[in-house]
Amino acid sequence: MALTHNLGFPRIGTRRELKFALEDYWKQNTNTDELLATAKSLREQNWQTQVDLDLAPVGDFSLYDHVLDMSFTLGHLPERVQGLKGSELDHYFRVARGRSPADCGCSGVAAGEMTKWFDTNYHYIVPEVSEDTVFSLNSQRLVDQIAEARSAGVTPKPVIIGPVTYLWLCKARDGYQRLELLEHLLPVYGQLLDQLADLGVDWVQVDEPILVTELDADWKLAFETAYHQLKSSRAKLLLTTYFGTLGENLQQACKLPVAGLHVDAVRGCQEVNAVVDWLPPHKVLSLGVINGRNIWKTDLGALLEWLTPIHDKLGDRLWLAPSCSLLHVPVDLEPETELDPEVRSWLAFATQKLDELRVLRIALNEGTDAVAAPLADNARAIARRRNSTRVHNPTVKQQVQGITPELGERQSPYPVRAEQQAVALKLPRYPTTTIGSFPQTTGIRKTRLAWRKQEISRELYVTTMKAEIERAVREQEKLGLDVLVHGEAERNDMVEYFGEQLEGYLFTRFGWVQSYGSRCVKPPILYGDIQRPGPMTVEWIAYARSLTDKPLKGMLTGPVTILNWSFVRDDQPRRDTAFQLALAIRQEVLDLEAAGVNIIQIDEAALREGLPLRRSQWQEYLDWAVDAFRITANGVSDTTQIHTHMCYSEFNDIIKDIARMDADVITIETSRSAMELLDVFEEFHYPNEIGPGVYDIHSPNIPSREQIVTLMSKAAERVPAERLWINPDCGLKTRQWEEVIPALENMVAAARELREAAG
């Protein structure tokens, strides 16, 4: 009999109950008991949803972040909160976000650094270690929740982050080798596992997702050390990997002395047979067959066909699960009553994915007749999606097939273009510009919302937005900026704005996924071939251009960013989807150019986020991602200046690909790194123009003219001054006009000073 289990369930709640409970608590509208009661009821609901499983995860729920929870379980808090008074929960929120409600009035502490959880859009709090770090067991959270789970009627399987992955996630100060802490960490894990065994827990899920990455010899050795030491514990360990293939770590993962292994059988489908061969005969194999990273229904018929021989071989030793925690998909499709019914029938959110698991288990254990109806429903939905004309548009497919290398080529190389652009644009040295958005005032948001709810006429909406655009243009003229923008008042979100106007996209009402803490995102669903029915931005940008004699830059979101911030199709390679998006945005670029907009910025804020977990696969991704950008950008004439923007500061390992994008101007985030990150542009002899950000838009601080001059002088030591622009780090939409105006005044004044100094 194949067992079913789950690796983790979304904790935010169907209606983002956790978000609202947290934010109320932080604002001190509620007290600790109320917050904990909401958390408890969410856990209970989650277990009710999972009651059919043979084992349900416990400890996957978190008030902020599961890595932070693990740090607390290991008694591992940053020094700066250790002396502070307050409860454990106060400490918890101090590490998470710099303050707890108990700290009202005082300044709080530095929040823990956050970074992306593998290749997902979830962010965890990075544990900080040094050679003085000590660990001590604090298992109360798990102990309490095991009892809760039992009273909810499920068999608990505690979920913890394994010791090797935990250390890998840590950041060490002063070049300290964090693996040296392993020997101090393992006894605490040993105690924890024994305690769990004492509570009658049979299985513990030990997450070691770094086994799907390329590991150095010392990390591989750490796995041996860790699991040989932990094998004496009395709980059975399910060594759990996800987000990719085991690759060269496969044999090691199979042989480590644990009772079971979970593998991602979606992304690692092709290596499952090798795992079956290598796995010692006493071990359980858990196959993650339901995709925990997207929102599509599983093709249960095809899956059963593939699973049956494996089940025949493994029998009881086969377990079934989603590929990874369901944290990365929305909770429930049920409330999406307004969704296009046809596309809706192709979708499965977390709750529906567990239903699929149940059907699979019955089909394998009792035969397909026992679940004939749900299997037939599933087969129908899969067949409809496969053949739907909503998904497949022969014209689009033909256009993608017709892509030739020439489509990605500018007419002339950069030096030739640069001369022509200089003549056409007549910009001064150190031209000043912004990244696109201006403050999104309450007025703007209200108008957009009213228009969305159809409470106001299109006419009123357009006049109001145009008034905002005019305001932005006039402010920029007053400031004396050299290249103006329209200000993006009409955009709620840089991906959603385009997705809503493209065919092949769909938007949910409640399809939230946790990004970090109380923050959630609602990724749009790209379900079909992408077509642009008509211009998407020209009306606004052309209007802005008509208002001024100054050069005006049009703003678009690039294909790779749109792709990386959406749920995308699983029936074609990501590359093909990127090319479809590229062709659609290319048309927009050409329409803008035809409307007289001769500076066009194509934002690729999320290009880096798409890098695969394994370095050996980076180049393949970068090749098509850069091609997609070039297809989008390069249909314009030489006198049209193409800008791109990236809001991060790590270019060292991808500089040659950034250069291959061949944008005439790239604007990047640099203000916080004091221009050091330009070193790589210098070493590489990056040939085109660069706008290193001089205004940290994440901070309310206003940079002074002197600070900006200093930053730009540093920049000029690395990049020839004639190729430098002056601009903020990123868009200004989250800031107030009162902050933006003085900051930009200083920026413009700094540019003047630099020009005078240069003669």
At a CB cut-off of 8 Å and minimum separation 6, what does 96 contact?
64, 65, 68, 111, 112, 125, 517
**730 counts as binding Zn ion under rule CB under 5 A:** yes
DSSP character string of 305-368? HHHHHHHHHHGGGEEEEESS-GGGS-S-STT-TTS-HHHHTTB--HHHHHHHHHHHHHHHHH-G
C-beta of 377 vs 609, nearer to ligand GLN: 609
What is the torsion angle, in degrees rounded to the nearest 10, for the CA atoms of residue 654, residue 660, residue 664 and residue 666?
-10
Indicate which of ligand GLN, Zn ion, none lies near residue 592 (CB less than 5 to 8 Å, by partner kind).
none
User: Was 116 annotated as part of a binding site?
Assistant: yes
Q: Cβ 488 to ligand GLN, closest distance in Å?
A: 6
Q: N- to C-terminal Cα distance for the chain? A: 82
Show the CA angle centred on residue 267, arms to residues 265 and 272, nearest 5°. 40
Among 733, 735, 743, 744, which residue interacts with ligand GLN (rule: CB under 6 A)? 733
Indicate which of Zn ion, ligand GLN, none lies near residue 63 (CB less than 5 to 8 Å, by partner kind).
none
| CA gap 716, 699 in Å, rounded | 25
**668 counts as binding ligand GLN under rule CB under 6 A:** no
User: Was 519 annotated as part of a binding site?
Assistant: yes
Q: Cβ 437 to ligand GLN, closest distance in Å?
A: 3
Contact 479, 741 (CB under 8 A): yes
Q: Look-up: residue for tokens 């180049």? A: 619
User: Was 730 annotated as part of a binding site?
Assistant: yes
User: Was 609 annotated as part of a binding site?
Assistant: yes
User: Was 202 annotated as part of a binding site?
Assistant: no
**610 counts as binding ligand GLN under rule CB under 6 A:** no
Q: Cβ 697 to ligand GLN, closest distance in Å?
A: 9
| CA gap 618, 91 in Å, rounded | 39
Token reading at 160:
């913890």
Among 647, 668, 677, 732, which residue interacts with Zn ion (rule: CB under 5 A)? 647
| CA gap 30, 10 in Å, rounded | 23
**Per-residue contact track with ligand GLN, 475 to 494, x per CB under 6 A?**
-------------x-----x
**740 counts as binding ligand GLN under rule CB under 6 A:** no
- 698 given a catalytic annotation: yes
Q: Cβ 561 to ligand GLN, closest distance in Å?
A: 8
Contact region with ligand GLN (CB under 6 A), list: 523-531, 537-545, 727-735, 741-749: 727-735
| CA gap 96, 110 in Å, rounded | 9
Contact 577, 585 (CB under 8 A): no
Helix locations, 455-613, DSSP H: 458-479, 496-499, 538-546, 559-564, 574-594
Contact region with ligand GLN (CB under 6 A), list: 45-53, 201-209, 397-405, 730-738: 730-738
**13 counts as binding ligand GLN under rule CB under 6 A:** no
**603 counts as binding ligand GLN under rule CB under 6 A:** yes
**437 counts as binding ligand GLN under rule CB under 6 A:** yes
The full 3-state SS of 201-238, as one line of letters, equals CCEEEEECHHHHCCCCHHHHHHHHHHHHHHCCCCCEEE
Among 239, 364, 536, 555, which residue interacts with ligand GLN (rule: CB under 6 A)? 555
CB closest to ligand GLN, residue no: 731
C-beta of 263 vs 484, nearer to ligand GLN: 484
**Per-residue contact track with ligand GLN, 493 to 532, x per CB under 6 A?**
-x--------------------------------------
User: Was 254 annotated as part of a binding site?
Assistant: no
C-beta of 513 vs 730, nearer to Zn ion: 730
Which 252-271 residues touch ligand GLN, going by CB under 6 A?
none
| CA gap 22, 462 in Å, rounded | 37
Token reading at 283:
């071990």
With 0-12 / 13-18 / 19 or more C-beta atoms within 10 angstroms meaning exposed / middle / buried, residue 368 is middle
Q: Cβ 22 to ligand GLN, closest distance in Å?
A: 24
**Per-residue contact track with ligand GLN, 626 to 645, x per CB under 6 A?**
-------------------x
User: Was 696 annotated as part of a binding site?
Assistant: no
| CA gap 482, 552 in Å, rounded | 9
Q: How far is CA 319 from CA 237, 307, 315, 358, 750, in A?
A: 14, 11, 9, 12, 64
Contact region with ligand GLN (CB under 6 A), list: 131-139, 148-156, 429-437, 687-695: 429-437
**605 counts as binding ligand GLN under rule CB under 6 A:** yes
Sign of CA dihedral 383, 376, 262, 326: positive
Q: Cβ 626 to ligand GLN, closest distance in Å?
A: 18
What is the torsion angle, in degrees rounded to the nearest 10, for the CA atoms of residue 561, residue 564, residue 565 and residue 567?
140
**729 counts as binding ligand GLN under rule CB under 6 A:** no
For residue 722, the SS3 value is helix
Contact region with Zn ion (CB under 5 A), list: 467-475, 495-503, 530-538, 647-655: 647-655
| CA gap 432, 441 in Å, rounded | 24
Q: Which of 76, 328, 392, 698 is catalytic?
A: 698
Token reading at 504:
């092949």
C-beta of 158 vs 524, nearer to ligand GLN: 524
User: Was 645 annotated as part of a binding site?
Assistant: yes
C-beta of 76 vs 491, nearer to Zn ion: 491
**606 counts as binding Zn ion under rule CB under 5 A:** no
- Letter string b/e over residues 74-96, b meaning 16 or more CB atoms within 10 A of that residue's CB: bebbbeebeebeeeebbbbbbbb
CB closest to Zn ion, residue no: 647
C-beta of 245 vs 601, nearer to ligand GLN: 601
Token reading at 211:
């086994």
User: Was 488 annotated as part of a binding site?
Assistant: yes
| CA gap 235, 203 in Å, rounded | 6
Contact 240, 253 (CB under 8 A): no
C-beta of 238 vs 605, nearer to ligand GLN: 605
Q: Of 513, 607, 517, which Cα lies nearest the Cα of 567?
A: 513
Contact 238, 284 (CB under 8 A): yes
**331 counts as binding Zn ion under rule CB under 5 A:** no
Q: Cβ 481 to ligand GLN, closest distance in Å?
A: 14
Q: Cβ 677 to ligand GLN, closest distance in Å?
A: 16
Contact region with ligand GLN (CB under 6 A), list: 545-553, 580-588, 657-665, 729-737: 729-737
Bind-site residues for 5-methyltetrahydropteroyltri-L-glutamate: 16-19, 116, 519-520, 565, 609
The residues binding Zn ion (CB under 5 A) are: 605, 647, 730
The residues binding ligand GLN (CB under 6 A) are: 435-437, 488, 494, 555, 603, 605, 645, 647, 730-731, 733
Bind-site residues for L-methionine: 435-437, 488, 603
Catalytic residues: 698
Bind-site residues: 16-19, 116, 435-437, 488, 519-520, 565, 603, 609, 645, 647, 669, 730
